[in-house]
Each structure stands twice: as C-alpha cells, then as structure tokens.
Amino acid sequence: MMHGLSDPDSIKNLKSALRQKFLTRRLALPPESVWVEERAIGDCLSQWSRFQEAQRILSFLAFRNEPDLTALMGAYPDKQWAVPRCVGQALVWHVYPSPVSNNPYGIPEPLADSPLFDPTGADLCLVPLLAWDRRGYRLGYGGGFYDRFLAAYPLETVGIAHQAFGVDILPFDPAWDIPLKAVCTGEGVRIF
C-alpha cells in the first residue's frame, strides 16, 4: 500500500505513469554516462564477494539504455552465464554466449534453437529494471516476466540499475511483486 493506494487498479495506474516517466528519463541519458555507469557496475559486481563465489549466473541483454553487462560476462568466461528469451508469458533461459536477434518488442534475446540453461540452482539472478526503491521493490516494463519467474524460482536477485533511478518508495502489489535481495549501481552493491 502506498499513499492510500490499496486496490490493484490504482497501483497499476500509478506504476504505468511512473514507468513512462522513468523510461523517458532513461532514454534521455547521454551515451557516455550510460557507458561510464555500466563500466562502474561491472567493477562493483566483480569486486563483490557474492559475485566472485557465484558460478551459475542469470543475466540479461541490455535494452533501451539498460546497463550492458556483456563486457562483464565476457570477462568471466569461467562462470556459466544464461540470458532469457520470452516465450508466451515465461522466461526461457539459454546459455550465453549464443546467437542473438531482436524479438518483436526490439529486445535482444537468444535464438530459439540456442542451447537451453536450467535456472534451477543458479547462484545469482541479475535483473533489469527501470527504477528501484530503498525496500528492494523494482519497477520493470510491466509484463510481469521476472515476477512470474521468481515466484517459481526463488533465487538471489540483484537489480542492475542506474543510480539516478533509485527512489524512496515505489508502489507495489504485495500479492504479485517480489522484492530484490540487492541492487547494484555504479556506486556499489546495496543489500536489502
């Protein structure tokens, strides 16, 4: 519940408005600031003991000025990496690197015939987002893919975000939204 919002429709409407606001702001980021922050995120993650211990990591391919983690993934070829592909309402995970193409929404994802990756027992799940709050709630694109996936696979989640998109509080639906365990920005890893 946020500022008197208790019904799912009010929460959904507020999230939709916030989604547009944060996406517009993120798309306006200068390329050099995106590049600087994604490099800093890679540095912060690589120095974090939990990342160093992890062997099986679920990641993502950047879209719409999300921090690009491909340099980090390439720097640690000894780890087993996977990236998602949207199939219906689910995320299906594929070994990275694999051949990639853009889906109908323009999101880069592995080709359907790329080797599959079983997410069961993954050590970390790096999660994209538009905004995050001090409690660990995230605002995504609104498709619910990660919430559905994490409801079935309760993994250790780390939101990957631009520092500028951290806020005090975001609306959330307690019946649906799953908070992150941590967030990593260019300023470091924050545990919730």
Domains along the chain with CATH numbers: 8-191 (3.40.50.10420)
Q: Is 80 exceeded by the pLDDT of residue 7?
A: no
Q: What is the pTM of this model?
A: 0.92
Position 88 confidence tier, pLDDT thresholds 50, 70, 90: very high
Instruction: Name the token pair of 14.
Output: 């507020």
Cα separation, 76 vs 48, whole angstroms: 14
What tokens does 117 get?
A: 């990756």
Cα 25 to Cα 21, 29, 109, 140: the distances in Å are 6, 7, 24, 14
104: pLDDT confidence band, cut at 50, 70 and 90? confident
Question: DSSP assignment of 106-156, as one string?
Answer: S-EEE-TTSPB---TT-SEEEEE-SEEETTS-EE--SS-HHHHHHHHS---
pLDDT at residue number 98:
94
Q: Are 124 and 150 in contact (CB under 8 A)?
A: no
In this prediction, residue 24 carries a pLDDT of 96
pLDDT at residue 1 greater than cutoff 60: no
